[in-house]
Amino acid sequence: MSSEQPAFDADGVLPLSGLELLTTTRAVRKRLDLTRPVSDDVLRECVRIALQAPAPSNQISVRFVVVTDPEVRRKLGELYQAGYGVYRQLDGIYIGSIAKGDETEQAQQERTTVSADHLAEIMPEVPAIVVGCVMGRSEDLGAWVTASVLGGAMPALWSFMLAARLHGLGTCWTSVHLQQEQAVAELLGIPFDAVTQVMLTPVAHYTGETFKPVDRPDPDTVIHWNRWQD
């Protein structure tokens, strides 16, 4: 796979193969370009593409709160920072406190920790922040309802991130702001009782060229053929 960025086509889309798109859509944090605004039209196009994703009972329940106003972004970024501060104290959960088995994996974990810490620092300055939401709440309603409610948003939100990658934008699925879900709801006018926030992603043009696939576990370590086996 070439390390050079291919040229955008006439519609501003990178001509990536399906395989390249799926293996190079990374969590972008250190390479977010804070100096370049993101066009509303491109964000809208990414949402249009994302709405092709599956939806339970064919009902579109995903919602995108797209924050580009500098003052609101700053406040939202500060709420993210507050959540990240709590997360950093959680031994065994904070990415920097999880020891990996071998040297290569440990080095990758440490790089990701530096990158995640960095994102928390810069979040208030990111040109666009998208809060992915779903209509409904599912607390205490059991696995089927919870999976169906959240499943109304997850495929579309990941498709949004893939579409952003195709348009030369970096994103990073994050969740630590959810510790402050109510405060974020108040800031953004999201009706907390009727709408669940699922994730938050920075959106920005990225610096540098392209992205590479990373090491992941062997498929056989996560597949259970025919029935679950330890």
Which residues contribute to the site for ligand FMN (CB under 6 A)? 26-27, 112, 116, 119, 172-176, 214
Beta carbon of residue 198, minimum distance to ligand FMN (angstroms, whole number): 9
Nearer to ligand FMN by Cβ, of 22 and 214: the residue is 214
Nearer to ligand FMN by Cβ, of 177 and 205: the residue is 177
Q: Which two tokens stand for residue 80?
A: 């993210």
Beta carbon of residue 100, minimum distance to ligand FMN (angstroms, whole number): 12
Q: The dihedral of CA 4, 47, 202, 218: what is its sign?
A: negative
Beta carbon of residue 118, minimum distance to ligand FMN (angstroms, whole number): 9
Nearer to ligand FMN by Cβ, of 42 and 176: the residue is 176
Q: What's the Cα-to-Cα distance from 100 to each of 95, 107, 176, 230, rounded to whole Å? A: 10, 9, 22, 20
Nearer to ligand FMN by Cβ, of 29 and 167: the residue is 29
- In DSSP notation, 60-72 reads --EEEEEE--HHH
| Cβ partners under 8 Å of residue 73, min gap 6 | 67, 124, 125, 126, 127, 128, 129
Beta carbon of residue 109, minimum distance to ligand FMN (angstroms, whole number): 9
Nearer to ligand FMN by Cβ, of 27 and 79: the residue is 27
Beta carbon of residue 107, minimum distance to ligand FMN (angstroms, whole number): 13
Rounded CA separation 212/214 (Å): 6
Instruction: Tell which residue, 192, 198, 115, has the closest CA to residue 152.
Output: 198
